[in-house]
Structures are given as C-alpha cells and as structure tokens.
C-alpha cells in the first residue's frame, strides 16, 4: 500500500534570502499518516516558516523535507501541492455564494463533495440554516458571516480538495474555544486518516494532539504529548502559564 500523508523533516535548516540568521535550525521530526501534530511556540519562533517548507513555498538550505518518504524536491510540484492544503491565518472570502467560496480551489467539485467538506469543517449546520443554503451570497450585498463561520468556510475550502495533509496555520486563534473544539471534533469524526499539522498560539488548541512540537528561535526544544511536555519542557510550561 502506498504511504499517504506522512511528513518527515530531516535535519532541516532554513534562512530567508538576504538574512544572516537561520529561522529553522536543524529540525528533525516525523508526522505519521493520520496523526495530528501541534506546533507551538512564541511569535517569531518559526512556526509558519517551518510548514511553508512542506508545499515548497521555500526550500531548505540543508537537510530534507519528505512527503510520503520522498524528498519534496524530487516530486512534481503540482502533484505535491495536490496532497497538501493550507488554511491561512487570515481568512479570505470573496463576494459570491458559499458554494463558490468553498469550490474556489476545485471548480469541478460536486454539491455533494462541497457538503461533505463543509461537514468535516463543522460548517454544514449553519450554512444549511440559511434559507438559500449553499447559494447564500456573502459580502456587501449578502450575508455577513461571523469570524468563526468564515473560518469554517475557509477550512471547508481546504478540505474539498481532498488533501492528504491539512495544515492549519494558526487559523483558529481568532475563534472562541468552543467553536475551535467543534471544528476539531468534526475533523476527528469525518476526516479519519487525514494528517493534520496545527500551528497554534494557545495550548488548548494542541493539547489533544498525538504529538506536539515546541519551537523556540527556530529550534525544537520539546516534542511529545501534552503530559510529557508539561513535565519536561520549560518553554511549554511558560506558554501554558501565560
């Protein structure tokens, strides 16, 4: 059986062109198929830079990033990016229907596929509650969604592409804890087998992850489950107490 959704970082270092100080320093970890991996660390610790190496927004200066066991530099870029969906920090919705907003990356998705993606993102319920359902128009002439609702549409947009790897780049920090918990519950229920990397600011966002990576100045200073990190990792304890 082919491997689906595995990510490996092997002694990866990376610095932005024209800078002196690497933002990722000798990082090694594995994300097994279907695992949920949390990435936590203070602002500027390198979380977004780290995940940007997976779809090759940037390439490392040394070491290797592998997807399903293959160095990403040896993969066809289109095929690589088809396997990965990134939900950005800031949600970008455009004037148009909910259907159009979810289908933006995959124009040939059927209504059924859009609904399925919306269910996984905990969006189907509130979308269906509008009289026009998926034809509800967003934006100036239409309905104004709340931050949490927009976020769920944004996640549905990522999921409709049926990725093997879902990267949530700190996208739930603006929604309340209950909404976030509901999104994660829906993902767990419907998106079995999907590998998730969740960048977060608060511990509650990653507490139940299979593995949590603690970044500090571009280095991994802790890796493990919540209980282990609370016990052994000073940086994690600091974030927990803040």
Residues with Cβ within 8 Å of 192's Cβ and at least 6 positions away in sequence, in order, are 34
Give me the half-sphere count of Cα atoms (radius 13 Å) on the Cβ side of residue 14. Answer: 27
Report whether 123 contacts 149 (CB < 8 A).
yes
**Of 22, 41, 60, 163, the one binding ligand GTP by CB under 6 A:** 41
Report whether 107 contacts 64 (CB < 8 A).
no
* Cβ closest to ligand GTP, residue 8 vs residue 170: 170
The CA distance from 109 to 233, in Å, is 44
Number of residues that bind ligand GTP (CB under 6 A): 12
**16 belongs to the binding site for ligand GTP (CB under 6 A):** yes
Stretch that binds ligand GTP, among 40-48, 96-104, 110-118, 119-127 (CB under 6 A): 40-48
**45 belongs to the binding site for ligand GTP (CB under 6 A):** yes
**44 belongs to the binding site for ligand GTP (CB under 6 A):** yes
**46 belongs to the binding site for ligand GTP (CB under 6 A):** yes
Residues with Cβ within 8 Å of 24's Cβ and at least 6 positions away in sequence, in order, are 12, 13, 14, 15, 46, 49, 50, 53, 60, 218
Dig out the tokens for 80 from the structure: 């690589």
The minimum distance between CB 27 and ligand GTP, in angstroms, equals 12
The minimum distance between CB 156 and ligand GTP, in angstroms, equals 23
Residues 170-209 that bind ligand GTP (CB under 6 A): 170
**90 belongs to the binding site for ligand GTP (CB under 6 A):** no
**Of 7, 12, 23, 213, the one binding ligand GTP by CB under 6 A:** 23
Residue with token string 């189907």: 124
Task: Please report, as ranges, the residues that interact with ligand GTP according to CB under 6 A.
Answer: 16, 19, 23, 41, 43-49, 170
């Amino acid at each position: 059986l082919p491997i689906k959704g595995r990510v490996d970082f092997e002694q990866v270092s990376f610095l932005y062109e024209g800078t002196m100080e690497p933002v990722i320093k000798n990082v090694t970890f594995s994300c097994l198929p279907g695992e949920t991996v949390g990435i936590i660390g203070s602002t500027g610790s390198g979380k977004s830079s780290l995940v940007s190496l997976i779809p090759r927004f940037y390439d490392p200066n040394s070491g290797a990033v592998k997807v399903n066991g293959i160095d990403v530099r040896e993969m066809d870029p289109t095929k690589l990016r088809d396997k990965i969906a990134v939900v950005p920090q800031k949600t970008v919705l455009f004037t148009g229907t909910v259907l159009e907003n979810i289908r933006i990356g995959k124009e040939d998705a059927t209504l059924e596929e859009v609904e399925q993606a919306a269910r996984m993102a905990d969006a189907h319920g509130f979308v269906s509650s509008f009289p026009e359902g998926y034809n509800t128009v967003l934006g100036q002439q239409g309905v104004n969604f709340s931050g949490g609702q927009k976020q769920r549409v944004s996640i549905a947009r990522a999921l409709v592409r049926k990725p093997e790897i879902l990267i949530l780049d700190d996208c739930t920090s603006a929604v309340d804890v209950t909404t976030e918990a509901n999104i994660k519950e829906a993902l767990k229920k419907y998106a079995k087998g999907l590998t998730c990397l969740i960048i977060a600011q608060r511990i509650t966002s990653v507490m139940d992850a299979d593995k949590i990576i603690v970044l500090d100045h571009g280095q991994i200073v802790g890796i493990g489950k919540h209980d282990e990190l609370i016990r052994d990792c000073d940086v994690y304890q600091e974030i927990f107490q803040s």
